[in-house]
Each structure stands twice: as structure tokens, then as C-alpha cells.
Amino acid sequence: MNQALRPMPLNATLTANYEIKAESIISSNVVGRLESKKSEAKDFTISGIAKLGLLDLLVEQGAKLNRAYTPDPRTEAGSFYRSDHFPMAKLGVPAISFGPGRDLRIGGKDRGEALSDAYTKDRYHQPADECGADWDMSAVKPDLILLYNTGRALAESRIWPDWSPDSEFHAAREKSASERP
């Protein structure tokens, strides 16, 4: 078996030197859950104010799908610093928390804001915050396509994403630069 294709042992230790990126999906587009494709967004966002090249690649891939980047509308919530991948960011691994936009194809920004606010108020981190069989997940597909295309473009390149020089995580990433393949 090709060494590159061999599965990693369950007890393996993966160092930040070999991590290309960390990514999480912070909810994808489920705010219109019973409203089918009416909740597809024309835009997308990430948590926090990113200072990394990975966002540039995400924006580039989004443009190919007629999706625009909209900065985090709630930076004051500190969602990036509470994300599951924040420990990886502290090690220097470029990390983003992807989220659906709020500019919906049907209803625009006003409807997107209203649905997002209702989801946050009535469901987020509450007992009702569960996926159900009644959810129409079709609006998630454009988000997954965008994320797949971004990951594939990165995998097919020689790029090692980095934090911008003024990012608080840049120095940690630079420490591992000489150890990367």
C-alpha cells in the first residue's frame, strides 16, 4: 500500500507542523429548515475577523459559485475564540469557522436576519437545537459544495495556508515552516 494512502494509526500523534488547515461548519444553512431551497444564501461568512490566506481561497471559490463573502455580523460574540478548532489556531494552524450567509435567495437580508435571530433565540444551545427528520437539508448543499471545492483546490495546490503577518497566530505557524514537507 502506498504510504501516502495508509490510514493513520488510532494512537498516532499529529503535530501542528503537518496540519494544513482546520475548518468547522458552524451551522451551515439550516435556519429555514422547513422552507426548502428558500433558505439558500447568496453569501457566506466566517466567525471572527480572519487574517489568513485560507479566506482568500474560500472567497475565490465562492465567486465561482456566485457566492459573496460577508464579514461576521457578530464579531462581538467572540465565536471564533470559542470554536472547536481554536486550540489548533493557537498552535498556528490556519482555521476558519464557516457559516451560511444571511442574504437569502428568497427574502433577502431581512428574511435571513429574522430567521437567524429566531434560530439563535429559540434553538441555539437549547433542547430544541436538534436535527430532525422534518428538516429539509437541501439548502446545505451549496455550502458543502463551496467547502469541498475550497478543500480540493487546496489539496491540488502546493499552498500551505498561513496567517497574515499581523495575526496573533502567525508566529506559531512560522515556527513549524521549516518542518513541513
Q: Say what the pLDDT of residue 106 is.
A: 83
Q: How many beta carbons lie within 10 A of that of residue 106, not counting itself?
A: 13
Q: Say what the pLDDT of residue 2 is.
A: 37
What is the Cα gyration radius of the chain? 18
Could you give the CA distance from residue 71 to residue 75 in angstroms, rounded to a whole number? 9
Stated pTM of the model: 0.77
pLDDT beneath 70: ranges in the chain? 1-38, 134-136, 181
Q: Say what the pLDDT of residue 64 is.
A: 97
* Phi, psi for 69 (deg, rounded to 5): -85, 135
